[in-house]
Structures are given as C-alpha cells and as structure tokens.
Amino acid sequence: MVPRQVELAVEPVVPAPQTTPGQGERIARLLLTRSPLGSLVRRVAGIHASVHSKLLGAFFLIALLLIAMGAMSLRTITNVSRQSRLLDQARDRVDASRQIEHALGVQMNFTRNALILRDEATIESILRENNRFHDTLARLEGAARPGELETIQRIRAAQDQVMTTVAHVATLIRDGKHDEAMTVHLSEGYPLYREIATLVTRVVRTEEAGMGELRQNVESANHRALLLMGGFAAASIFLALVLGFVTSWSFILPVREAEAFLGRVAKGDFGATIDVPNRDEFGVLAGRMNEMSRELHHLYEAQRRLFGELEVRNRELGRSVEELRALGEVGQAVSSSLNLETVLTTIVARSVQLSTASGAGVIYEYDDVAQEFLLRATHGMDAALGEALQEAPIRLGEGALGQAGLTRAPVHVADILDERAVVLARVRPALVQSGYRSLLAVPLLLDQRIMGGLAVWRREPGPFDPAVVNVLQAFATQSVLAIQNARLFRELDAKSRELEAASRHKSAFLANMSHELRTPLNAILGFNEMILGDIYGDVPADLRVPLADIQSSGRHLLRLINNVLDLSKIEAGHMELTLGDYSAQDTVASVRTSLRALADDKGLEFVATVSEDIPVAYGDGGRVMQCLMNLAGNALKFTRQGRVAISVERHGHVLVYRVADTGIGMTPDRIESVFAEFRQGDAAITSEFGGTGLGLSISKKFVEMHGGRIWVESEPGKGSTFSFSIPLRLGEGSPA
C-alpha cells in the first residue's frame, strides 16, 4: 500500500487588490526616498506620542501659522492707514495754504475795492477777511510739520505787518486821505502781499513734495504688505502640505507595512516580522502583529512537526497494514489450501514483496532423517539461479540457510560480494550474476525443531529492516503451520483411505455374515416350523413348548442380526430408503396384527386410532413400519398391565405417530439416553424384558432419514409416550 499523502490545508489566499501607483503616488514615493521628507516622516513616526496628539500638534502648528499671518496683515493694515493719515494731513495743509492764498487774494481785492469805493463796509470786509486769514493761518500752524514752522511764522509776521498796513490804509481812507492810502497800500501793503504769496507758494510746494513722498511711501508699504502676505500664504500652504504629508505618511507607511505583512502571513509566511519606526498606536499594533506572527510561527512549526510525525506514523501504519494484509493472505492460504506448494509459493511471494522491490526468495522443507533442506517453492527466480539451487539439497549448517537452521535464528548477509560472508559456495556465482547483493535466511521452527527455511535475496546491499525480519519470522511460523498441515493432511489422507477400505471390508463382511447367519437360521426356523406343522408326523404334546421356545429364540436372534446389520449400514452410510407410496392405515394395521398375540398373552388392552383423513403417504413404508413396530413392541414389553395405544394424526404436511403405554416409565436422565445405542433401563430390565437396546436408536435414524423427529414423554410408574413425526410425502411440502 502507498502511504496516504496528508497535506496541511492552507486557506487559499485572496490576493490583495494591486493598485497601480498613480502620478500622486509616484511623487510621494519619490519624495519619501529622495528627499529629507523621508527621514522627517520616520522622525515624526518615531515621536513617542499618540496619533491623536500628533494630529493635534500638526493642526496646532497650522493654526499658529494662520494666527501669525493674521497678525502680520493687521500690522500692514495699521502701517498703511498711518501713511494715509499723514497724506490726509498733508492734503489738509495744502488746502489751508490754498485758503490762505485765496484769503490773501480776497483781502487784496477788498483793499483795492476800499481804495476805489472808499466806504466803511468794504473797509470792514477787509478787516473781517483779515481775521479769517488769521484763523486759517493758525489752523495751518497747528498742523504744520517742524520744518514748515519757520515759513509759517514768517507768513504770520508778514500778515501782522499786512494787518498794520491795512489798518493804516483804512484809517487813511476814513480820513479821506485817499492818495496817501493809495501810496501806503502800494508801497507797503502790496509788497507784503507779494511776500506772503511767495511764502504760501513755498509751503504748498513743500507740502506737495511731501505728499508725493508720502504717496510713494503708501505705495511701497502696500507692495511690501502684498509680498509679505504672499510669502506668508505660500509658507503656510507649504508648511501645511509638508505637515500633512509627513503626518499622513507617518500613518500610511505603517498601515502599508501591516498590509504587506498580513499578506505574507496569509500566504503562509508565518514568522514574518513587521518593522515600523512608529512609537504610537501603529507601533503598538506592529508589536502585537509581530507577537501574533511569532505565535503563528510557533504554532505552524508545532503543526509541521506534528504533521511530519503523522506522516511517519502514517507510513509505519501503511507498512503495518501491508504486513497484516500479507499475513492475512498467507494465513488464509494456509487455512484454505491443503496444497503445500500453493501455500508456500504464496508465502515466498509475499515475503519477497515485503522485503524488496525486485528480489527473489525460496522456501525449503527440512528432512529430519537426511538432515537436508529440500527446495519447495521459489519466487522471482531466474533460470541460472534455479539450476544452481536445484543441483543439490542444502545440508544443515551449510550456507546462510543451513546456519539459520543450526542456530535457530535469522541469518543476515549484508553483502554477498564479501568473501567472508556465509553464502553457499556453489550458489554464490549465480547469485552474483543475477545481481543479488544481500540476503536474509529465516529458519522454520516448530518448538525448536527445524521444519525448513525461508530465504529472501535483494539487489541492494545492506542489513534488513528489523520490521521485515519480524514479518518474515511470522511468515516462517505460517510456513511451519502449512508444512505441518500438509503433513497432517497426508497422514489423514492415508488414514482415511485405510478407513475407507476398512469400511468397505466391514460392509462386505456384514453382508456376507448376514447371509451366512441367515442361511442356517432359515433352516433352523424352517425345520422347526415344519415339525410344529406336523410335516414329520404328529408332535408329542410335551415337545410343543420347547419347540415353540426354539422358534421364539430363533426369531429373537433374527431380529438381533437384522438390527446389527441395519445399524452398521446406517453408520457406514449405506442405508438407503426404499421410497414409494404406502398407507399409514395399513402400516398401523400390520403392526397391530403382528403384535396382537403378544398383547393378548400379557392381558393388555391394545388399541389403534388412525385419523380417517390421512391420504396415501410417500416414503419408506417398510422402515416406518419397522419404527412403529419397535415402539409398539417396546411398549408391550415394558407394560405389565393397562393398555398400549397407537395413534396417527396428520398436522398439515406432517404425520405424527404415537405409542402411549401405562408401563414402568422412565426417569429424566434415562429419557436423555433412551435413543442411544445398546441402552435399556438397566441390567435388571434387560434380564426381565429382554431386547437388544438397538431398536430405538435404529428407529431414530430412520425417522431422521425421513427428515423427521422422534421424542418421548415419560414419568416413572405412569408410563411413556413415544412419538415420531415424518413428512406425509417425503420431498414435498415443509419438513417435519
């Protein structure tokens, strides 16, 4: 048998969906391997903090960046608004200067008007205008920058002079000194106006120049703010991206590692380890996975070890089964075949098969007298080797087999080529030529007595497996049994032939003796009957009784002879039923007629009841009558008073004959042996009632030959009822 292959079942692994890396993925990989980001990711992963904290940290950083960006923009806005304010102030100052210029013009105009019109109202207008001018100048002075103050003070001084001049002019006009007033105005007032105008124009110019500068400042401030904000935004985006990248990859990488690891485990790579730099939950997870993997690896190793052991056991078991099967086969051959050659051929064939793939084997039977091993069966033998072995028997102690016989133990020859090996010299060349290298010889022993030997040759050198030696020894035992069986069978066969011959002689003797006994008995009874029948003249009265006794004794002797003969024939198997139709009624009538005289002599009531519905029966009517005669005769013999009743009933296909008496009866232990040969109640009974004790056993045999049954119900002192059942028609219907 081929040892069954046991495979460790591994669940089929569903391959993880292979995603082809997209553009983003490729970039990410490039970044991870070629840029410092890779080490950053590992460093982040290595931070001893939970995933939650890391995410929180990343978001916090981004929030900080946003706050900083807000602060920066706030500062920029403040700066810009300050510049604007300065611009506004400058514009206000320009406006004031322009108003001063205007007021100066109006003042001069009014002064000219007063010179022409010479009325009071106009003069007052000049003074009012002069006051307003004064106010405006004060406003300008308040908003003026430090560098302008000198110019403004000069304007004020000129204005003061203008006021004095105007007041003088006004007084002159009121006084009607118009020409003088004109002269004053032209000589004093006008130049003052010109001076003021020049000063104001200077202020305006200065302010305008300042405004241009301010405008430039605002513009550059705006530009700077734009740059700063852009930079901040870019930096924020960059930082957010980097943080996102680093954080997410510090999580993605361990997940990917875990996925790959689980994939390996699923494919059966137990004991694989996962290595992640993470010191967060992923790190813990990886640690657990490694533990699991180690555990799996241990389990797997244990399982594999078990599997290996199982396989070894399985192979051993297969071999044992094979051996058992071979033993069984051999055992069956031994028990089922009486042909020694068949059995030994089976044994040697199985021996060779169990020991080697391509070998040969022989079985020898030992001749005790000649002290030689004789070849009995071979297997796988080639012609040359066969001839070498047939050449001569192996003597005890000669070669491996002879040695095995001598030592009563198996003999190994690990290498036939070895000159020192115990190998029969005349066989060695043939063995070597046939390619055999090693041999095993096992003696066949029966209680340390040599019965033969079993030898197996192999083409491979080396010692034999102890298991094979054991099996071959078992085979040797079987071979011994087979040889023993065959010898016993030979003896038995001879004995049975003798017995058969003896039986034939016995039958012939019995037939002969029967004839030889009957012939004189015929003469004795015949002459006696003729004497009693007065053939030889009248017989004296006192001779009649002894003559009748001769007749009775002669009949008894005849019955004895008949019974012995019947029994012998039955035992030799020569008794055959003479089958034919017969009538149960006639049978009973004949028996009654034959025995009526005896019943009458003993004063017994002798009745017979036969069911009227019994049809013609089929069987050996003579033997049935003989049985009934025996039973009825016995009943009359053993009954001193009362009655003997014969009855026949039909139960379907069966007839039941009964003989009931009121005789001495039997105890239960006598009932048991009543149908055995040569048995009667006891010696006393024999002496009182006579008889051979064969009648019942012969009757039993005849009934059984009909397929029937005979039995008795009895009680000591009350009587016995003997019954037998036989088929109404032998060979038809159900058995009795």
Partner 1 sequence: MSVRTILHVEDNELNRKMIRDLLRRTAYRLIEAPDGEAGVAIARGERPDLILMDVQLPKISGIEATRRLRAEPATADIPIIAITSFALGGDEQRAKEAGASAYLAKPYSPFTLLGMIRALLPEE
Q: In 3D, which of 353, 341, 548 has the Cα closest to residue 458?
A: 353
Q: Positive or negative CA dihedral for 118, 124, 127, 129?
A: negative
Nearer to partner 1, 529 or 704 (CB): 529
6 part of the interface to partner 1, by CB under 8 A? no
Q: At residue 353, what is the residue type?
A: Q
- Determine if 19 is a binding residue for partner 1 (CB under 8 A): no
**Interface with partner 1 (CB under 8 A), residue from 121, 535, 607, 676:** 535
Residue 168, both tokens: 């003088």
Check binding of 589 to partner 1 (CB under 8 A).
Answer: no
Residue 8 near partner 1 by CB under 8 A: no
Rounded (5°) CA angle 451-456-462: 130
211 vs 567 by CB, closer to partner 1: 567
Q: Give the span between the Cα atoms of 393 and 407, in whole angstroms.
A: 19
For partner 1, which residue of 390, 433, 519, 594 counts as binding (CB under 8 A)? 519
Least Å distance between CB 521 and partner 1?
A: 5
Which part of the chain contacts partner 1 (CB under 8 A), choosing from 469-477, 569-577, 689-697, 701-709? 569-577
Count the site residues for partner 1 by CB under 8 A.
28
Report angle CA 397, 400, 403 to the nearest 5 degrees. Answer: 30
User: Which long-range contacts (C-beta less than 8 Å, at least 24 apart) are formed by 193-198?
Assistant: 193/104, 193/107, 193/108, 193/162, 195/158, 196/100, 196/104, 196/155, 196/158, 196/159, 196/162, 197/101, 197/104
Interface with partner 1, residue 527, by CB under 8 A: yes
CB 523 → partner 1: shortest distance, Å?
4
Residue 514 binds partner 1 (CB under 8 A)? yes
Only segment of 81-89, 253-261, 526-534, 713-721 that touches partner 1 (CB under 8 A):
526-534
| Identity of the residue, 101 or 566, whose beta carbon is nearer to partner 1 in the bound complex | 566
Q: What are phi and psi of 645, to 5 degrees?
A: -125, 130
Q: What is the CA radius of gyration of the chain?
A: 76
CB 619 within 8 A of CB 676: no
Contact flag: residue 530 with partner 1 (CB under 8 A): yes
Q: Does 191 bind partner 1 (CB under 8 A)?
A: no
With CB under 8 A as the contact rule, the residue among 381, 389, 411, 575 that binds partner 1 is 575
Taking the complex as a whole, the smallest distance from the CB of residue 510 to partner 1 amounts, in Å, to: 8
The yes or no reply on residue 386 touching partner 1 (CB under 8 A) is no
Contacts of 729 (CB under 8 A, 6+ apart): 617, 618, 619, 653
| 509 contacts partner 1 (rule: CB under 8 A) | no
- CB-based burial label for 581 (10 Å; 0-12, 13-18, 19+): exposed
- Which residue, among 391, 390, 387, 422, has the nearest Cα to 405 in the 3D structure? 422
Q: Which stretch, 12-20, 291-299, 477-485, 527-535, contacts partner 1 (CB under 8 A)?
A: 527-535
- For the bound state, the minimum distance from the C-beta of residue 724 to partner 1, rounded and expressed in Å, comes to 20
Please answer whether residues 444 and 450 qualify as being in contact, where contact means their C-beta atoms are separated by less than 8 angstroms: yes
Residue 735: left if φ>0, alpha if ψ -120 to 50, beta else—which one?
beta
Stretch that binds partner 1, among 164-172, 267-275, 485-493, 530-538 (CB under 8 A): 530-538
Report the half-sphere exposure of 579 (CA within 13 A, side-chain side).
Answer: 10
| Residue with Cβ nearer partner 1 (328 or 580) | 580
Is residue 435 part of the contact set for partner 1 (CB under 8 A)? no
Q: Say how far apart CA 311 and CA 317 lie, in whole Å.
A: 9
Say whether 604 sits in a helix, a strand or coil: coil
525 near partner 1, rule: CB under 8 A? yes
- When binding is defined by CB under 8 A, the residue of 180, 208, 329, 529 that contacts partner 1 is 529
Q: Is 164 in the site for partner 1 (CB under 8 A)?
A: no
Of 55, 511, 656, 671, which lies in the binding site for partner 1, with binding defined by CB under 8 A?
A: 511
Alpha helices in 118-189 (DSSP H): 120-143, 149-174, 178-184
CB 681 within 8 A of CB 604: no
- Shortest distance, CB of residue 370 to partner 1, whole angstroms? 50
Q: Which of 28, 285, 565, 685 binds partner 1 (CB under 8 A)?
A: 565
35 binds partner 1 (CB under 8 A): no
Q: Is 60 in the site for partner 1 (CB under 8 A)?
A: no
578 binds partner 1 (CB under 8 A): yes
Long-range contacts of 65-74 (CB under 8 A, 24+ apart): 65/232, 65/235, 65/236, 65/239, 65/240, 66/236, 68/232, 69/229, 69/232, 69/233, 69/236, 72/228, 72/229, 72/232, 73/225, 73/229, 73/232
Q: Give whichever of 379 and 569 is closer to partner 1, judged by the CB atom.
A: 569
Identified binder of partner 1 from the candidate list 12, 147, 520, 540, rule CB under 8 A: 520
Contact set for partner 1, span 543-562 (CB under 8 A): 554, 558, 562
Residue 427 has φ and ψ, to the nearest 5°, of -100, -25
Which of 182/570 has CB closer to partner 1? Answer: 570
- Which residue, 496 or 512, has its beta carbon nearer to partner 1? 512
* Residue selected from 230, 435, 526, 733 as contacting partner 1 according to rule CB under 8 A: 526
Please list, in sequence order, all residues whose beta carbon lies within 8 angstroms of the beta carbon of residue 230, skipping any fewer than 6 positions away.
none
- The interface region with partner 1, picked from 190-198, 335-343, 470-478, 519-527 by CB under 8 A, is 519-527
- Looking at beta carbons only, is 576 or 613 nearer to partner 1? 576
Site residues, partner 1 (CB under 8 A): 510-512, 514-515, 518-523, 525-527, 529-530, 533, 535-536, 554, 558, 562, 565, 569, 574-576, 578
